[in-house]
Amino acid sequence: MHSSDAVGLLFASAKIARICPAFKPNSKIPYRIALKTEEPFAFAGIWSTVHDAQGGVHPTFAILTTEANALVAQIHNRMPVILREQDEANWLNLRLALDEVQALLVPFPADRLMMYEVSPKVNSPAYNTPDVLQPVA
């Protein structure tokens, strides 16, 4: 299989639902991570097209990660690259120099995010309601 050059892509989101190991074996705790302003944000992503040996064409994509900021480090050592609004156009700019692209791949400021535990129901498609994003008491 071979791939064409990867191209920048934005993934819009209003939250990160991160599932983290709990203190009990085989148990995981879901967290909601969002901007304190509750505004949507964009993840840095890439996409490319892969051609298999049979001639099939398969679009692929990935959300890029970076080291965790101080907030997210409480539950994991990595986090998705969240782009600042003013950096979104640069991320999509195919002519951006490599060092300028790499400068965008940094942890989002922890003081602009909030994080709290949510119900395990957030992991089930049967519960597609906003109440699953409420803090667990």
What are the boundaries of each domain within the chain?
2-118
Instruction: Indicate the CATH number for domain 2-118.
Output: 3.90.1680.10
Residue 133: the pLDDT is 86
Kindly list the distances between the CA atom of residue 90 and the CA atoms of 8, 14, 45, 136, in Å, as whole numbers in the listed order: 9, 21, 13, 38
Q: Which pLDDT tens digits describe the chain residue by residue (137 residues)?
A: 334 455 666 666 655 555 555 444 556 788 889 999 988 889 998 888 999 999 999 998 889 999 999 999 998 899 999 999 999 999 998 898 999 999 999 999 999 999 999 888 888 889 888 888 899 97
Q: In whole angstroms, what is the distance from residue 52 CA to residue 132 CA?
A: 40
Residue 130: the pLDDT is 85
Q: Measure CA 101 to chain center.
A: 17
Those residues with Cβ within 8 angstroms of residue 80's Cβ, 6 or more apart along the chain or in another chain: 16, 43, 44, 63, 64, 65, 66
Residue 23: the pLDDT is 47
Residue 65: the pLDDT is 94
